[in-house]
Amino acid sequence: MTPSLSSLHSATLQELINAFKQLDDPRMVNKNDHLLIDIIVIAVCAVIAGADGPTAIGQWAKFHQDNLKRYLKLPKGIPSHDTFGRVLKRIKPLAFQKCFVEWIESLRQKNGELREHVAIDGKEVRGSRKNNLGALHIVSAWSTENGIALGQIATEEKSNEITAIPELLDQIDVSGCVVTIDAIATQKKIVKKIIDKKADYVIAVKGNQKKLYAAVQSLFETTNLNGRNVSRFVEDEKSHGRLEHREYYQMLVGRDFPLLSHWTGLKSVILAVRTHVDKTGKSVTERRFFISSLGRDGRAAARYVRKHWGIENSLHWILDMTFREDESQIEDRILGENLSWIRRFTVTLAKAHPAKMSIVGKRRGAAWSFDFLMQLLQCAGK
């Protein structure tokens, strides 16, 4: 017998309830009209369906109260928007994220022989500068092939990303993965942390590490890039009507490489050369350097360098264009971080859902149809 929609919805919401049953209630015992799990389930569903804050969450809940009362206990009815705000301001973000991550762990599929690629990058929520507060920065970990948000850490300043990245690495499982980060993470402690977590790295090198940058640059300038000891990979791509030509060179570093002992696990260096025609018709060439714990494989090195920016295109751009995150003026840091995480979780669900629709379309579908909302949530348990 085919299960009814009602039983499928009940099973889906029960998975969501089970994911959060161990989460500590931050409120005073015996003084609460509403169950913590009811508040969380409604908040998660509402944000997936387009809500951008406590007021919208409360409004969405009232519109869907008939469905919600069918599956949730709601001893005192639908909570007010103030209740959603108070609770989401007090839930510890790391504990909140942990519940999500454990729930969606099954989505982290291996892609044939390719190792999972985890890109880490920071994003500023510019709207949070309201009332002279510093802008909220979110450092995210993103599984590029699987389209999964693995974790995040909030910081007050961009410079604090250096201390946030090791914390983020501690909260997620990157064993066996290849971790890529921009030059802000070219720090000895971060490199060591990645190796200690039994992962490999490809990290950009820029002027913030002058001696390392000079050593890598000198090595490529004094080496025959067409020689047998250098792996080379070339690709051409047409983007926005313009042709891009990219060349990647990777070579192993010898024992005489300066600073070798300072960078845990260092095995190779990478040069990425990108040539394209700008809007004025002028040919522009850019050169970028990287250090890596990977052995020599030009095609793989090119893949990790190129795919790193997937976190910008597949996560940050979507958060700004689809969720309008950059316009969010939520001042409370804990509330902002918890809502930010639900948005990233929503991107994960939308990418996992097989329908050939945009993420905007899927969120709109979740707002219009409770059945479609349940379909999106079902993706977390596959």
pTM of the full structure: 0.88
Distance from C-alpha of 372 to C-alpha of 368, rounded to nearest angstrom: 8
- pLDDT confidence bin for 1, thresholds 50/70/90: very low
Task: Give mean pLDDT, residues 284-298.
Answer: 95
Please, what's the largest Cα pairwise distance for the chain? 74
Write out pLDDT tens, residues 259-275.
999 999 999 999 999 99
Query: Torsion angle, CA of 227/230/231/236, rounded to 10 degrees?
Result: -70
Among 136, 139, 133, 180, CA closest to 156: 136
The rounded distance, in Å, linking the Cα atoms of 351 and 372 is: 14
| pLDDT, tens only, 137-196 | 889 999 988 888 899 998 876 667 888 999 999 999 999 999 999 988 899 999 999 999
